Amino acid sequence: MNSKPRILIARAISPEVVSTLQQHFDVTANPEDVAWSPDELIDRLQGMDGVLTTGSQRIDAALLAACPQLKICANMAVGYNNFDVAAMTAAGVQGTNAPDVLTETTADFGFALLMATARRISESEHYLRAGLWKDWRYDLFAGTEVHGSTLGILGMGRIGQAIAKRGAFGFGMNVIYHNRSQLQPALEAECKARYVGKEELLQTADHLVLVLPYTPEAHHTIGAAEIALMKPTATLINIARGGIVDDAALAKALAARQIAAAGLDVFEGEPAVHPDLLEVPNVVLTPHIASATAPTRLAMAQLAADNLIAYLGGKAPVTPVNQLDAATRRQK
Ligand code: 8YV
Structural domains of the chain, with CATH = 6-100+294-312 (3.40.50.720), 103-285 (3.40.50.720)
Alpha carbons 306 and 294: distance in angstroms, whole number: 18
Structure confidence by residue, pLDDT tens digits, 275-324: 999 999 999 999 999 999 999 999 999 999 999 999 999 999 999 999 99
Average pLDDT, the chain: 97
Structure confidence by residue, pLDDT tens digits, 175-205: 999 999 999 999 999 999 999 999 999 999 9
Q: What's the pLDDT score for residue 118?
A: 98
Which residue's CA is the closest to the ligand 1 atom numbered 3? Answer: 291
Question: Measuring from each residue's beta carbon to the nearest atom of ligand 1, which residues come in under 6 Å?
Answer: 54-55, 76-79, 102, 291
Would you place residue 99 in the very low, low, confident or very high pLDDT band (cuts 50, 70, 90)? very high
How far is ligand 1, taken at its centre, from the CA of residue 322, in Å? 19
**125 in active site:** no
Which residue's CA is the closest to the ligand 1 atom numbered 4? Answer: 77
pLDDT at 138 over 90: yes
**270 in active site:** yes
In this prediction the pTM is 0.96
Residue range 116-127: average pLDDT?
A: 98
Alpha carbons 159 and 66: distance in angstroms, whole number: 36
The CA-to-CA distance between both ends of the chain, in Å, stands at 15
**Helices marked H in the chain:** 15-24, 38-44, 61-66, 85-91, 103-118, 121-129, 158-165, 171, 185-191, 198-204, 224-229, 247-255, 275-279, 294-312
**241 in active site:** yes
pLDDT at 2 over 70: no
Structure confidence by residue, pLDDT tens digits, 227-239: 999 999 999 999 9
CB 197 within 8 Å of CB 205: no
Backbone angles phi, psi at 126, to 5 degrees: -60, -40
Active-site hit among 58, 158, 288, 330: 288
If one counts every other C-beta atom within 10 angstroms of the C-beta of residue 229, the result is: 15
How far is ligand 1, taken at its centre, from the CA of residue 211, in Å? 12
pLDDT at 332 over 80: no
